[in-house]
């Protein structure tokens, strides 16, 4: 770790470093050698500078991991309701904290958050850290980042978990940057080593490998996790823990953002909340045929979802897409219709309780994750299923 330093008093702007940099990260501009973010610290410029004007500034600090203690969960809430991803993160935090004997913290900020925060003690949080102030009524990224930073400085958690929601995705990188530490987005699994290093596991390179990412030199370690990926925390019979009302420093409440008006969006159907999903894949030959998939979904009191090619074709909105670049789902039942089962799709649905696949190709990868399958044509099987379900509904 470090950065490249150019001594202007020795440099004669010969340009050798510019020519030899394999990453094209060096330029001469306004009579100065500039090293940009493309630099990979290969040190070729240092070796080849005839004037000895370039050197490595070592900035590596070794963190004392013992000074960082606890797993902190950011509590997302709106209109007095806690986002369910928070309870899933608390479930994971309890497991991780148990393995390294750390406490579980929950950070909640806003107005009227004391009672809301108290409710989290039932889920096994050791300390709810509540920051209450009128200025925190609405989410404003700059203010919330300040308070988050203050909280981390005071309680020094080793691990910080944030939901990969719109708010979480806006907040977590800002706070991580304040500590110059690592952040892994959209983790699908989290493990912890005895030395408190968090192993952050997530699909990489288009989902073809599962990468294990570890932040070894800095603390805290930040991870975001999507809704419906982790198991929700169980309620404790005899909850303990405490709520701490933390001090909000007035000088930290200066914001460059002014909230003029807020309006609640009409609640939309969300495939992540559905208990039953019927998924259309590219085996569906034209948009009109989505009608039969939708009919099957309605008969099962479920929702229609799809693979990415159907969204790309403009047949269905993005909100219906399951997969790495769409949503993660964990329904009780999922029926896939003409879906091949690419990893980018299955990575975000394989935790469903029952997976039922229909595909005319017996070697389709979807059958590897399915609990039940039919090798056959959806244009024969789905109408037959619909007819059978209708008959059963009539006879009830
Ligand atoms: C970075 C990246 C991110 C991606 N993100 C996503 C994502 O979020 N979600 C996603 O879905 N994909 C995603 N993809 C694309 C993914 O790799 C696949 O291309 C996609 O999932 C394939 O969709 P499909 O199964 O509908 O189509 P296909 O792979 O074309 O499969 C169609 C299947 O239908 C079967 N079939 C055809 N006709 C019939 C019939 N009449 N009856 C029965 N079966 C039939 C075929 O045998 C075939 O198995 C991503 C790719 C990349 C590189």
DSSP-derived secondary structure for 139-187:
--HHHHHHHHHHHHHHH--SEEEEE-SHHHHHHHHHHHHHTT--EEEEE
Task: Output phi, psi for 67, to 5 deg.
Answer: -75, -15
Q: How many CA atoms lie within 13 A of 96 on its CB side?
A: 33
* CA angle (323 as vertex; 277, 317 as ends), nearest 5: 70
**Mean pLDDT, the chain cut into blocks of 10 residues (396 residues total):** 86 94 92 88 93 85 91 96 97 98 98 96 98 97 97 98 97 96 95 98 86 95 96 94 97 95 87 96 98 97 98 97 94 98 94 97 98 98 97 77
Which among 1, 51, 50, 54 has a CA at the least distance from the CA of 26? 54
What's the pLDDT at 1?
Answer: 60
**Is 61 exposed, middle or buried (CB count within 10 Å of its CB: 0-12, 13-18, 19+)?**
exposed
Domain 2-58 in CATH 3.10.180.10? The answer is no
What's the pLDDT at 61?
Answer: 67
Instruction: Tell me the best of 348, 359, 373, 379 to mutate to test the pocket of ligand 1, counting ligand atoms within 8 Å of each CB and taking the most.
Output: 359
Task: Output phi, psi for 216, to 5 deg.
Answer: -90, -25
User: In CATH, what class is 271-395?
Assistant: alpha beta
Q: Which residue has the tokens 């000895």?
A: 52
What's the pLDDT at 81?
Answer: 95
The structure's pTM equals 0.80
Residues in the chain: 396
Instruction: Tell me the best of 202, 279, 316, 323 to mutate to test the pocket of ligand 1, counting ligand atoms within 8 Å of each CB and taking the most.
Output: 323
CB 281 within 8 A of CB 339: yes
CA separation (Å) from 270 to 26, 187, 227? 48, 21, 12
Q: CATH homologous superfamily for 65-253?
A: HUPs (3.40.50.620)
Structural domain boundaries in the chain: 2-58, 65-253, 271-395
What's the pLDDT at 60?
Answer: 61
Q: Is the CB of 364 under 6 A from ligand 1?
A: yes
> What residue ranges in 237-346 does DSSP mark as E strands?
242-245, 276-280, 303-306, 333-337
What's the pLDDT at 229?
Answer: 93
CB 169 within 8 A of CB 224: yes
What's the pLDDT at 199?
Answer: 98
What's the pLDDT at 62?
Answer: 77
What's the pLDDT at 265?
Answer: 83
**Helix or strand or coil: residue 206?**
coil
| Category of 374 on φ-ψ map: left (φ > 0), alpha (ψ -120 to 50) or beta | beta
Answer yes or no: same fold for 65-253 and 271-395.
yes
Nearest protein CA to atom 12 of ligand 1, as residue: 308
What whole-number distance in Å separates Cα of residue 349 and Cα of residue 369?
A: 9
Q: Is the CB of 360 under 6 A from ligand 1?
A: yes
């Amino acid at each position: 770790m470090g950065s490249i330093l150019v001594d202007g008093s020795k440099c004669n702007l010969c340009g050798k470093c510019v020519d030899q940099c394999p990453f094209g990260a060096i330029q001469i501009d306004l009579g100065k050698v500039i090293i940009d973010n493309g630099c990979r610290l290969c040190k070729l410029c240092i070796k080849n500078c005839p004037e000895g004007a370039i050197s490595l500034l070592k900035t590596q600090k070794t963190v004392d991991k013992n000074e960082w203690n606890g797993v902190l969960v950011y509590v997302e809430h709106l209109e007095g309701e806690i986002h369910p991803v928070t309870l899933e993160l608390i479930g994971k935090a309890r497991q991780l904290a148990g393995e390294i004997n750390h406490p579980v913290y929950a950070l909640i900020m806003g107005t009227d958050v004391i009672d809301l925060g108290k409710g989290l003690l039932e889920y096994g949080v050791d300390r709810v850290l509540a920051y209450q102030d009128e200025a925190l009524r609405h989410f404003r990224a700059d203010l919330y980042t300040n308070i988050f930073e203050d909280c981390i400085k005071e309680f020094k958690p080793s691990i910080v978990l944030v939901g990969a929601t719109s708010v979480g995705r806006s907040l977590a990188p800002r706070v991580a940057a304040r500590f110059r530490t690592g952040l892994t987005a959209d983790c699908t699994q989290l493990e912890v080593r005895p030395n408190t290093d968090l192993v952050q596991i997530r699909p990489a390179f288009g989902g073809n490998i599962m990468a294990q990412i570890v932040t070894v030199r800095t603390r805290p370690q930040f991870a975001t996790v999507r809704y419906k990926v982790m198991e929700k925390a169980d309620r404790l019979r005899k909850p303990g823990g405490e709520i701490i009302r933390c001090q909000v420093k007035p000088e930290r409440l200066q914001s460059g953002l002014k909230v003029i008006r807020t309006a609640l969006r009409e609640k939309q159907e969300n495939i992540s909340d559905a208990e039953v999903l019927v998924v259309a894949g590219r085996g569906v030959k034209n948009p009109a045929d989505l009608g039969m998939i939708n009919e099957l979904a309605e008969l099962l009191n479920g929702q229609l979802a799809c693979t990415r090619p159907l969204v790309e074709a403009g047949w269905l909105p993005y909100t219906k897409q399951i997969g790495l670049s769409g949503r993660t789902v964990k329904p009780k039942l999922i029926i896939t219709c003409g879906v091949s089962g690419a990893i980018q799709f299955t990575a975000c649905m394989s935790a469903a309780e029952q997976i039922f696949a229909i595909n005319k190709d017996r070697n389709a990868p979807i059958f590897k994750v399915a609990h039940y399958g039919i090798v056959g044509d959806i244009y024969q099987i789905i109408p037959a299923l619909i007819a059978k379900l209708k008959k059963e509904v009539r006879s009830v």
